[in-house]
A = this chain, B = another copy of it.
Amino acid sequence: MKGASQNPTERGLALYRSMARIRAFEDAAEEASKGGVSAFGAALSQDVMVRGPLHLSTGQEAVPAGVCANLFRTDMITSTHRGHGHTLAKGASMEKMMCELFGRATGFNGGKGGSMHIADFSVGMLGANGVVAAGIPIAVGAAHAVRIRSGKEIVACFFGDGAINRGPFLEGLNWAAIHKLPLLFVCEDNRWSATTATSAMTAGPGALARAQSVGVDGLAVDGNDVFAVDAAAGSLLATIRAGGGPKFLHAVTYRFKGHVSVDPATYRDGQEVARALENDPMPFAEAKIGAIEAKRIRDEAHAEVKRVVEVATAAPWPKSDSAYTDIQDTGAGRWLA
């Protein structure tokens, strides 16, 4: 989150810390989710901590870390089904997120949403989304609201490479450009859409060209280089904040894990995966900030996540009555007779 020192060393450490916390969180969540999804016809184990499809952003940490380092707390973001990294990087509590994944009353969503709907409005995180590309129009609306009340906030909208083939991508970018909304579109390109190589399903010169064709200019960046992401996002956001209208950031990275945590991802070529693992954004950043500091930060992150898992494990379950709240004020109720 912005407000971190602009001192280059401190900024580097802050970026690395942001990434390390995401990595530690994802590893712990992955562990806690084993057996927790009934995709691919597998049965669901009853005593698993994290139930349901868990989409890990392991390997992609540099994108949220680099982008959100340029956002103020009052700025807003929208996210995807793979939203833990965005949420943490935006400054949300790791503990409340883990509690949510564990389905506890103390989670951000009181257990109502889980990983795919994780949200923390207190830091402007307007929600993960289970529907590919659905966050785009929502981000457009949030940015439009800012414009209407002459606010100073900007909105960052994260989505995957698969999302650029859905209609709302076109509609949302066009809308943002017409109204010159304060909006950064971030295409987090991990090269896969579930079990499908996105390249095979995507025609034309790429995400940035598509954005430009509807009047949204931007930059392409190595999404595994957190410093490059930071710099690119910083320059685009400076333009946006100065009233330059929406911009686009295309960040190429890689999904280290399967589509969901229990997916062995056997459909991927071993060499491709091996090459991608060599581009792990963590050691890359470590090389710049030094091994000693990096280890200290990682250890802190591990300690934090360990504590957080303990808290989440001990946290109370939501009361079943709460299943009936937060639906609507007019016409609420169970309506069972």
Contact = CB atoms under 8 A, between A and B. Distances in A.
Label chain A's interface by main secondary structure: helix
B204 A177 contact: yes
**Count of chain copies:** 2
Contact of A170 (B167, B177, B212): B167
Interface in A150-181: 165-171, 173-174, 177-178
Contacts of A148: none
B214 A210 contact: yes
A205 interface: yes
A44 to B, nearest CB: 33
Contact of A165 (B170, B200, B205): B170
Contacts of A205: 212-213, 215
A322 interface: no
A202 interface: yes
Nearest to A177: B203
B171 A167 contact: yes
A152 to B, nearest CB: 23
A43 interface: no
A336 interface: no
Which range contains the number of A residues in contact with the other chain?
20 to 34
A209 interface: yes
Interface in A112-161: none
A242 interface: no
A201 interface: yes
A216 B168 CA distance: 19
B212 A213 contact: yes
Contact of A174 (B204, B212, B215): B204
A149 to B, nearest CB: 23
A213 B209 contact: yes
Nearest to A208: B213
A167 B165 contact: no
A178 B175 CA distance: 26
Given A210-B213, A213-B209, A178 B201 contact: yes
Contacts of A212: 204-205, 209, 213
Nearest to A210: B213
A215 B164 CA distance: 13
Contacts of A204: 174, 177, 212-216
Interface in A197-228: 200-205, 209-210, 212-216
A167 B168 CA distance: 6
A186 B112 CA distance: 47
A214 B208 CA distance: 11
Given A212-B204, A213-B204, A166 B177 contact: no
Contacts of A209: 212-213
17 contacts: A165-B171, A166-B167, A166-B170, A167-B169, A174-B202, A178-B200, A178-B201, A178-B203, A203-B215, A204-B213, A204-B215, A204-B216, A205-B213, A205-B215, A209-B212, A210-B213, A212-B213
